Amino acid sequence: MVDYTALLPEGLLIVTAAIVLLAGLFITQKKILGYITLVGLLASLGLILKDWNLTATFDSAPFYGAIVVDPFSQIFGAMFLIVGVLVAIAALKAYGDNPRQDEFYSMMLLATVGMMVVAMSKDLLALFIGFELASISTYALAGFDKRDPKSIEAALKYFLIGGLSSSLMVFGISYIYGLTGSTNIDTIASVFGANPGLAATPAILLAMVMLIAGFGFKMAFVPFHMWAPDTYEGAPSIVSALLAAGSKKMGFAAAFRLFIVGLVAMKVDWYIAFMILAVVTMTVGNILAVVQTSVKRMLAYSSIAHAGYIAVVFVVVAYWNAPDSAVNLAVTGGLMHAFSHAIGKAAAFIAVAAIAYMILSKDKVDDPNHVENYDGLGKRAPMTAFLFALLLCSLAGIPPLFGFTSKFVLFLSTIEAGLLGLAIICVLNSALSVYYYAKVVMRMYWGEPKGEAFVESSTYTFVLAIAVIALIVLFFAPGDMVYQWAETAAHAVTGV
């Protein structure tokens, strides 16, 4: 008997999306749709958190085993929904007067569903569908400010590179399908297990590299990252939040499932690939972030660097000398870091939106995201600046915020695995990243204010406060709630 109740959160979102889209055709007071969206997201989140301590996979296998509900999907689902909630609240302010806001909400909901589907998928087809659902929705979202050439340009670049990546991904999937005869990840794994020679064929190698490229586009690994800074910068800030915090994590969800479960037999190969990618990604991301003058673009590069840190998970998992405990710890750390980064980065982009909104309301400037405009923000908008500074601290991995804990666990796993060189590169990169976050903080707190105080939007402040409080609470969380959740999820993936 197939039990579809486990899919209730996703179903709820789809229904909400449909309601929002349809209602948008009729009602004029569209702001209410934002609240409906929020209710849908919160209800869905509640459904997921209800089962947060789910330890095993749901018995049922909906859609012929293409979809699975397990702690791994739950934690990613929660992550996407939290990001969705943050973005939705911010959108209440950002698009509260926009006549097309119904489209925004419905696409955002659909994108969230797509991400959640990816996290749940056990089959490459489901994975691909979820991937595309999220992608297509976000292509449109990136160009949502259609009068803004930057937004359109962002969407165009995102779309073109996204299309290229999808085709690379499907091409890779096609080879895997051809060689293993299945698109089910478990089956693929067992076929590889049965035919050890298969993993060494060039075709499968090509497929693997193409899949890495396909997922790497979402995760923004260097050199597949080049769309990311442009898109994050050009897209509306709250969409950037969704992209950097949600869509990027979707790439990781897919990659965790496919590589760690499905392609575990060829881990020597992706060890090499991910080692190169991780090191290059974090280094390039950080070094380029250092020289940025736009805060938004800096956050984009920082999110690339963070992708590099999370990519360390693959290296540790694939490292042949790594003990099981290190493998588990790495995935746990990766999930925690994805979690902390999702909250932190989403809120950071929303903060940028809030700040840009305030700056545009008072100052005559070309680029509200330019770091010079942040001068003296600590005085002009004390709450926003304070919360933004704390978010940056979390991203930089400075206690007492959850970003520190997650980085701590993640880097711990590299040492456990014995990857000393990688560990040193990671921590040095992490130290370097402090530089550009600190630069912004410096501007905010000891730059000379360029004008009188702003009126801070309570909605934005509320979003940021939620995120910051969440990050602080998770740091002090008694009984390491998130850790255990992530660890269970890690078990579900690594199986050890």
Partner 1 sequence: MIPLQYYLLLAGILFAIGAYGIMTLSNGIRLLMCVELMLNAANMNLIAFSTHINDASGQVFALFSIALAAAEAAVGFAIILMVYRLRAKIDIENIKLLRW
Partner 2 sequence: MGLITILMLVLLAGAILSLLTKTTAQARGVALVSSFGALAISILMYLTYDANFNTITNYAFEESGTWMPSIGIGYHVGVDGISLPMVLLATIVCALCAIYSWSEGKRPNQYFALLLLMDLTLIGVFVSLDFFMFYVFWELTLLPMFFLIGIWGGPRKDYSAIKFLIYTHIASVLMMLGIFALYYFHGASTGFYTFDIPTLVNAYKDGILPISQYWLDFIFITIMFGFMVKMPSVPFHTWLPDAHVEAPTIGSIILAGVLLKMGGYGLFRVLLPMMGVASTWFIYLIALFGLMSILYSPFAALAQKDLKKLVAFSSIGHMGFISLGVAASVLAGMDPARVVAHTGAMFQMFSHGIITCVLFGCCGVIEHHTHTRIIDDLGGLTKKMPKLAILMVAGFFASLGLPLCSGFVAEFGILSGSYHTMPIFVILAAISIPFTAGYHLWAVQRTLFGPYNEYLGDVKEIKWYEFTPLAIWVIIFVILGIYPAPIIDMMQTTTEYFLLSGDILPIGGIHVPPGGAVPW
Partner 3 sequence: MMDPNLTTIDFRMYAHWIVLLPMIGFLLELLIGKYWWRKGGMFATLSIFGSMIISYGCLYNVYVQHLGFWEYSWPWFYDGIVAGFVVDPLSLAMVCMVSFVSFFIHFYAIGYMSHDCAKNVYFAETALFTGSMFGLVLANNLLQLFIFWEMVGVCSYLLIGFWWHKPEAAAAGKKAWMSCAVGDCLFLLGIAMMYTIMVKQGITSEIISFNAIFQNLEHLSHEALFGVSALTIICILFMCGVLGKSAGFPLHVWIPDAMEGPTTVSALIHAATMVTAGVYLIARAFPIFLAAPNALMIVAFMGAFTALYASTLGLVVNDLKRIFAYSTISQLGYMIAILGCGAVLGVASVAYALFHLVAHAFFKALLFLSSGSVLHGIGNIRDIKEMGGLLKGMRWTGYAMLAGALALIAFPLTAGYYSKDRIIEDAYIYATHGGDLGYMVWIFLVLGVILTATYTFRAWYLAMTGEPRSYPAIHPHECGFWMKTTLVVLSFFAIFLGIITGGGKDFWHFLEETFVHETHTATGIYPGLNLHEIAHLGGNTLMHHGAHPPSWVIYLPLLLMIAGLAIATTVYYKNRIDVSKYVKKDNPLYQILWNKYYLDYLFKDIIAEKIIMTVFTFWDVLDRYVIDGVVNLLSWITIQSGQVSRKLQTGIVQNYATAVIFGVSMLMILVIMIRGG
- Residue 409: alpha-carbon gap to chain centroid: 18
Exposed / middle / buried, residue 448 (Cβ in 10 Å: 0-12, 13-18, 19+): exposed
Task: Count residues near partner 2 (CB under 8 A).
Answer: 38
Binding to partner 2 (CB under 8 A) within 375-404 occurs at 393, 398-400, 404
Q: Does 223 bind partner 3 (CB under 8 A)?
A: yes
424 binds, among partner 3, partner 2, partner 1, none (CB under 5 to 8 A by kind): partner 2
Among positions 198-237, residues that touch partner 1 (CB under 8 A) are: 229-231, 233-234
Looking only at residues 401 through 460 of this chain, which bind partner 2 when binding is defined by CB under 8 A?
Answer: 404-405, 408-409, 411-412, 415-416, 420, 423-424, 427-428, 430-432, 434-435, 438-439, 442, 445-446
Near partner 3 by CB under 8 A, which window of 12-20, 35-43, 134-142, 163-171?
163-171
Residue 469 binding partner 2, by CB under 8 A: no
How many chain residues bind partner 3 (CB under 8 A)? 37
Q: Does 18 bind partner 1 (CB under 8 A)?
A: no
> Judged by CB under 8 A, which of 117, 189, 245, 277 binds partner 3?
277
Give the relative orientation of helices 267-290 and 420-446 as an angle to the nearest 10 degrees.
20
Any contact of residue 287 with partner 3 (CB under 8 A)?
Answer: yes
Which helix (H) or strand (E) element contains residue 487? helix 481-494
Q: Whole-angstrom distance between the N-terminal and C-terminal Cα of the chain? A: 29
Contact between residue 144 and residue 151 where contact means Cβ atoms under 8 Å apart: yes
User: Any contact of residue 487 with partner 2 (CB under 8 A)?
Assistant: yes
The residue count of the chain comes to 496
Q: Binding to partner 2 by residue 52, rule CB under 8 A?
A: no
Q: Which residue has the tokens 């209410």?
A: 32
**Residues in 309-368 at the binding interface with partner 2, rule: CB under 8 A:** 323, 325-326, 329
Residue 438 beta carbon to partner 2: minimum distance, rounded to whole angstroms: 6
Shortest separation between residue 260's beta carbon and partner 2, angstroms: 20
**Backbone φ, ψ for residue 97 (5° rounding):** -110, 5
Sorted by sequence, the CB contacts under 8 Å of residue 301 that are 6+ apart come out as: 229, 285, 286, 288, 289, 292
Burial class (CB in 10 A: 0-12, 13-18, 19+), 23: middle
Beta carbons within 8 Å of 119's beta carbon, 6+ residues apart: 72, 73, 76, 77, 80, 130, 250, 253, 257
Instruction: List C-alpha distances in Å: 400 to 27, 182, 460, 468, 472.
Output: 45, 46, 22, 11, 6
> Which residues contribute to the site for partner 1 (CB under 8 A)?
124-125, 128-129, 132, 135-136, 139-140, 143, 146, 149-150, 152-157, 159-160, 163-164, 166-168, 170-171, 173-175, 177-178, 181-183, 229-231, 233-234
> Which residues contribute to the site for partner 3 (CB under 8 A)?
156-157, 160-161, 164-165, 168, 202, 205-206, 209-210, 212-213, 216-217, 222-224, 226-227, 229-230, 268-269, 272-273, 276-277, 284, 287-292, 432
